[in-house]
A = this chain, B = another copy of it.
Amino acid sequence: MVEMKSKKFFYKNIIEWKKQRMGILSAENKPGIEIATPPEFKGHEGIWNPEDLFVASVNACIMTTFLAYAERNKLDFESFKSEAEGVLEIADNKFMITEIKIKPFVKVKHDADIERAKELIGLSEKNCLISNSIVSKVTILPEATAGI
């Protein structure tokens, strides 16, 4: 643990403007992603925007954290899917993502694991490193069922 405390990890990317309100996001050895201003701010439809990436980072972090906890706690699950919705509005005279609602849904193999699965999802949000890095209020409503 002492060693972990001093560890740092780095995440690099490049965005390059192409035309109008569009650009390409890239990172070493990763597929390029087209990015644009959203339509409501004079941008483009059907293209990922910065707001999407932000909300997705929280949603994805809860999944990856859950996967780690499920493995550590030997939770048998069949599927995991999570819906996220971020709200952009003016607060304190500036635009910000004030709130993110997350609805994860997990299907476990055994009835007995339903409550434990929901607890692990809750814990995943609480310990998600992206949740720790934002001021937006994150609300999580985990659901779980059993079956194959």
- Chain B residues contacting A55 (CB-CB under 8 Å) are 11-13
Q: How many copies does the complex hold?
A: 2
- Please tell me if the beta carbons of A132 and B96 are within 8 angstroms of each other in the complex: yes
Instruction: Tell me, in angstroms, the Cα distance from A40 to B10 when the chains sit together.
Output: 10
Instruction: Tell me, in angstroms, the Cα distance from A59 to B9 when the chains sit together.
Output: 18
Interface bits A84-105 vs B (CB < 8 Å: 1, else 0): 1111111000111100000000
- Please tell me if the beta carbons of B11 and A51 are within 8 angstroms of each other in the complex: yes
- Please tell me if the beta carbons of A46 and B30 are within 8 angstroms of each other in the complex: yes
- Could you tell me the distance in whole angstroms from the C-beta of A148 to the nearest C-beta in chain B? 15
- Chain B residues contacting A60 (CB-CB under 8 Å) are 15, 23, 25, 35, 49-50, 53
Q: List the interface of chain A (C-beta within 8 A of B).
A: 4-5, 7-17, 21, 23, 25, 27, 29-31, 33-38, 40-43, 45-61, 63-64, 67-68, 79-90, 94-97, 127-130, 132-136
Would you mind naming 7 contact pairs between A and B with Cβ atoms under 8 Å apart?
A11-B85, A12-B55, A14-B83, A14-B84, A51-B130, A53-B60, A97-B133
Q: Which 8 A-B pairs have the closest CB atoms?
A: A53-B57, A50-B61, A54-B57, A17-B80, A96-B132, A50-B60, A95-B129, A37-B64
